[in-house]
Structure 1
Amino acid sequence: MKSNAEKLCFTRFIINFPIGSKISFGRMTINSKIYRLPGEADNLEKIIDREIKDNKDSARIFNKGREMDKISGTPFSSSDPRFLHLLGIVGTYNYSIHTFVKLDQDIYILETPGLDKDFVKKALESDTQIAKSLTSQKQFDIPNVPGICIDHAFSSIEPTFENIEFGIRLKDFPDVHFSVQTIKNGDGVIPVNLAHEKSESMKQGMTSGLETWLSRLKTLREGKRVVSDWHGEEMLLRVPGGFGKPSIHKFIFRASGLPHDPLHPFVELTMDSGVEGNQTASREPSLSDEEAVALWDWLLNSIHVRPNAVAHRSEIPQPNE
């Protein structure tokens, strides 16, 4: 499979995947929520007008005559002509900021809701910094400078908070969906204990009369695992069929990461077979247990930190392909 692989940059990492697979990004946050509107650059005015219209009722009902309210509902620019800000009124006392960025043929929108008036200036400065940092990037380009890869774009800043989600639909196994989520930790980390979660779910199932069904649950593998330099746990299950559903694979890897470390975020990797559309357990899996485990290992073993992902990083884990 290695000879038929492409590489994708996500945040500061690289993963291999089979050629022809479909990549779909979900939630993206770089301090502010950010999402992409592909091919909509020529419709920027219409998109802003729609956002203004959506905010008009709140502005009419809750406008308090503050100085800040006078600029709400009208897009305004900063020093960079590539993007515009829009301040909206949310509820009685709060504000929202939408920043619209044109990159080639796409629009990226940064969204920061629920702001008290005392935080608007700081949020505008943050969104301006993020907007200025964004550059367009082809999907399979691998940059060689510090920063973060997102959906067809690259940000050169080091954000305080980030959360990136994406999924891979495999061309040769269309019922298999592989998903990735990474969250940069703050002061604390999210604890991981997959065995405990499984035990608690089994107890709940037993009390709900699912003893027979649970007795057919097959654990293909579970325990500690290191992916790149992420020390975490994995659990590979073959979920039994029943109640009109087929037997499917449900694999998960989770790592807590380290506080404030961009190379050791909280990570959750999942792989499901039997997916039809966006519905799990909707068709018979195209993979045997052995094939599913082999594909899982191939994907996870390919993940590694890309060169120069962060500034002043001397030791970079290499892929185990």
Structure 2
Amino acid sequence: MKPDWITRAIGRHLVNLPASAKLSETYTLNKVKIEPLLIRNHQHFEYIVDMREAELKNTLHRKRKEAMFIELIKHPNGSVTLVSWSDPASEELYIFDTYFQIGTKAIKYSGDVDPDIKQKILDHHGRLSQEWRELKPGEIPEGTGFVAGDVMLVDKRFNLEDWSLSARFAGKPDVNFIMYGFARRTVKPGLRERAGGATGFLAGVLTGKSTLRSRAHPVGPIEGDEILMAATQNGRRSYGFKWEAPGKASSLAEPYLIADLTDGIQDPEAAGPTSFKDDDEALALWDEIIDSIRLRPGAAG
């Protein structure tokens, strides 16, 4: 790895990126977003929960003519779930606002729940409250787990785990890199078997399109394909790169992975300076990132 680069853990994988890059991440578990909470201490955590509870108690369920709030359920390690009605005009679904306290960190995990499986989901959240652990700044954790920012779920059971990581690079304001991971139950055709892909970014927008690469691009044991496009208009070179690894069904170790790098602007007539000095520089950045993608040792159990 280059000396001015860092290794980032996300999901169950690792990827190397320039240390100067501005990163943004998202995470979901079983189709429910994991929302990091900025808390100062335990009292601040309790304050956030109390404010949400008060909001629900002060919001009227129009059909029932009573508060949206139903009950508060306590879980191990100081975590709690606030149960309320999902819609003020309906009694079909609950919403569970679960607040997990994880050492000095906290996350919110909110989603709709069918009343018929209320206790099952509460039991599940109680188990999850005991499986999260806090990560130190910059820590690359060892062993089984799904990394979501500065916390990790220590679990090897199959869940629908999704994440995204986007990066913006210093001195290259028009360049955007984004990578996704999806643990899923079915496998779709690979990138080069489908129409579109990276070509969609350039098609119908810029003239002088060319394919730099359309080939298999395995990364260690990860089988993947890439389509890398470039185009020139008004003297500006732009790029649309895409890499995909279809993964395996119901696998935490081999999820569906996607990476995109785009370099271009919405209005070609207003094109600014080229982000890369030439194709080789663009390809070098791409290869450095893609070739660093790997499963964190022991992450899938």
| 1:145 maps onto 2:143 in alignment | yes
**Match in the other structure for 1:272:** 262
Unaligned 5+ runs, structure 2: none
Tell me: CA distance 1:154–1:6, structure 2 relative to 1, closer, same or farther (3 Å). same
Q: Distance in 2 between matches of 1:168 and 1:190?
A: 26
TM-score (norm 1): 0.78
Secondary structure class of the residue paired with 2:14? strand
Q: How far does the alpha carbon of each residue in 1:200-236 deviate from its partner, in whole angstroms, 9 at most, with x for none? A: 977xx6xxxx5xx555122211122212322222111
Match of 2:240 in 1: 250
Over 3 Å counting, the alpha-carbon distance change for 1:228 and 1:61 in structure 2 is farther
Whether the aligned pair in 2 keeps the contact of 1:84 and 1:99 (CA below 8 Å) is: yes
Gapped runs of 5+ residues in structure 1? 312-321
1:89 aligns with 2:85: yes
Give the aligned residue type for 2:121: A
- Where 1:197 maps in the other structure, the secondary structure is coil
Which shows bigger deviation, 263-272 or 220-229? 220-229
Note closer, same or farther for the CA distance 1:124–1:282 as it changes in structure 2 (3 Å cut): farther
SS of equivalent residue, structure 1 residue 236: strand
Whether 1:24 and 2:16 are equivalent positions in the alignment is: no
CA drift at 1:162: 0.7
Contact 2:179 2:257 in 1 (8 A): yes
Percent of residue pairs bearing the same amino acid type = 21
Runs of 4+ aligned residues of structure 1 deviating over 6 Å after TM superposition are 199-202
1:116 to 1:28, Cα distance in 2 relative to 1, 3 A: closer
**What SS does the aligned partner of 1:75 have?**
strand
Question: Could you tell me which residue of structure 2 aligns to residue 220 of structure 1?
Answer: 212
What SS does the aligned partner of 1:259 have?
A: coil
Measured at CA, do residues 17 and 2 of structure 1 come closer, stay the same or move farther in structure 2, by a change above 3 Å? same
| Correspondence list, 1:7-156, <5 A | 7-29=7-29, 32-39=32-39, 41=41, 42-52=43-53, 55=56, 60-63=61-64, 72-78=69-75, 80-91=76-87, 92=90, 93-113=92-112, 115-156=113-154
TM-score by length of 2: 0.82
Q: 1:120–1:228: structure 2 CA closer, same or farther, 3 Å change rule? A: farther
Q: Structure 2 vs 1, CA of residues 199 and 87 (structure 1 numbering), >3 Å: closer, same or farther?
A: closer
- Structure with more of its chain in helix, by fraction: 1
C-alpha distance in 2 between matches for 1:135 and 1:215: 51
User: Does 2:292 match 1:307?
Assistant: no
Number of equivalent positions: 291
Displacement after TM superposition at 1:184 (Å):
0.5
Using the TM superposition, give the Cα deviation of residue 164 of structure 1 relative to its aligned residue in structure 2, in angstroms: 1.0
Instruction: Please give the root-mean-square deviation of Cα atoms over the aligned residues, in Å.
Output: 3.3
Q: Residues of 2 paired with 1:55 and 1:241: CA distance?
A: 55
